[in-house]
Amino acid sequence: MSFIKRELRAMACAVQFLSRVPVVTKTIFEVDDYANSLAWYPLVGAFIGLIIYLSGAGLAGISSPSLIAALVLTIWVLLSGALHLDGVADCADAWVGGFGDRAKTLKILKDPASGPIAVVTLVLLLLLKWSALSIVIDSSYWSIIWVTPVLARSAMLLIFWRFDYVSSSGLGSPLAAGFSIRRIGFALLVVIIGVTSLLSGQSGLLLCLLGLTSFIIFMWKRSCYQHLGGFNGDCAGALIELLELGYLLGLALLVGVNS
């Protein structure tokens, strides 16, 4: 298989898996395609970030910031198909219902049903996202909203590379089993160079983003290892949501500090 064909298949696989954007292809993706797709996750994040930015910019001035934020959040959820929110719900149920027992926690993670803890967690998460968006959408920080989905999905490269994947049959199994360290390293380097270049002159903001990323991943890893001894696909999805929430809250706080 040629290099270009391999990368096109990997990119299409990433888009299809991480979003509800229709991919015009009849290709049946193989295990290698899923493994190679991991390096393209940041690009999917960039695409989602662009849509979010354009949606907010296009709706600006039409109505109140709170309504615009609600519409943007709806678009955001629809773009991802609520894939990562499902991970949040599963983890919330498993963490509470597992009572510290690893086998029971894994069993609950595999259960498609959602309990009251999951519902409450999702409501609170979406409420916090909406509140933060209501503040950020009417500020100068809206121009960098794209960084939120980019960095959140870029974190997937790091955790699949450095942390322990504990599920043998989950959606993330092909990613954990067959990814290339060289591809992951190159993709992360591109993200670092791209983000720092586009945010040049905003060293304070970059430090805040780095601090938030490090803190959230540290706390997430601690919780996952405590309950599972590693992570699985649901945990990865939950991390994306936690990082996005952290970045939005951080930007909202910066708006307050600078106002």
Establish how many alpha carbons lie within 13 A of residue 223's alpha carbon, considering only the half-sphere containing its beta carbon.
18
Res. 11: pLDDT tops 80: yes
Quick check: is 111 in a domain? yes
Query: DSSP string spanning 86-132?
Result: HHHHHHHHHHHHTTT-HHHHHHHHH-----HHHHHHHHHHHHHHHHH
d(CA 255, CA 135): 7
pLDDT, one tens digit per residue, over 96-117 is: 998 888 889 988 988 888 899 9
pLDDT band at 25 (very low <50, low <70, confident <90, very high): low
* Start-to-end C-alpha separation, the chain: 55
259 found inside a domain: no
Please check whether residue 257 lies inside any domain of the structure.
no
What are 32-65's pLDDT values in tens digits?
888 899 999 999 999 999 999 999 999 988 889 9
Q: How many domains does the chain have?
A: 1
pLDDT of 1 above 80: no
Question: What percentage of the chain exceeds 90 in pLDDT?
Answer: 70
Per-residue pLDDT band at 214 (split at 50, 70, 90): very high
Q: What is the pLDDT of residues 167-192, one digit of tens each?
A: 766 667 777 777 789 999 999 999 99
pLDDT tens by residue, 62-79: 889 999 999 999 999 999
In a domain, residue 157? The reply is: yes
195, part of any domain: yes
Residue 118, in any domain of the structure: yes
Structural domain contains residue 253:
no
Mean pLDDT, to the nearest integer, of 222-227?
A: 96
Q: Is residue 258 part of a domain?
A: no
Q: Which amino acid is at 96?
A: V
Domain assignment of residue 192, given as a range: 3-247
